[in-house]
């Protein structure tokens, strides 16, 4: 099936990933090249979870979900698209939104 039929976004090529990362400060490609990661730090838990809540609303809406670990003011995020075994535009969209939500 084509993307239009499945709704599944295609896997990004490495050039497109590096192009996107250039606009996403603090984000890095995981060693296996299949995910991008960033650790966010906030003033306290309230701000960290406020951030997570804004991201969760996006995640629920676009049906694309982060892997994330939180303790107190720290949120460690991993983004990838399981269906394509790597990164898709959904990960870039989510990372871009996280940058806005964190600032």
Q: How far is the CB of 50 from a copy of itself (least distance, A)?
A: 9
Residues 3, 13, 60, 62: which binds a copy of itself (CB under 8 A)?
60
Burial class (CB within 10 angstroms; exposed 0-12, middle 13-18, buried 19+) of 48: buried
Q: Which two tokens stand for residue 26?
A: 């603090």
Q: What pairs with residue 38 in β-bridges?
A: 77
Q: Is 52 in the site for a copy of itself (CB under 8 A)?
A: yes
65-94 positions binding a copy of itself, by CB under 8 A: 65-72
- Asked if residue 87 lies in contact with residue 17, where contact means CB atoms within 8 angstroms, the answer is yes
Q: Catalog residues that contact a copy of itself under the rule CB under 8 A.
A: 45-46, 49, 52-53, 56, 59-60, 65-72
């Amino acid at each position: 099936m084509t993307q239009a039929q499945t709704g599944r976004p295609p896997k990004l090529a490495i050039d497109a990933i590096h192009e996107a990362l250039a606009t996403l400060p603090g984000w890095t490609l995981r060693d296996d090249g299949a995910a991008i990661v960033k650790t966010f730090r906030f003033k306290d838990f309230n701000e960290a979870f406020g951030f997570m809540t804004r991201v969760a609303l996006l995640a629920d809406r676009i049906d694309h979900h982060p892997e994330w670990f939180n303790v107190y003011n720290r949120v460690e995020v991993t983004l990838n698209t399981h269906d394509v075994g790597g990164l898709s535009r959904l990960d870039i969209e989510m990372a871009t939104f996280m940058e806005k939500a964190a600032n």
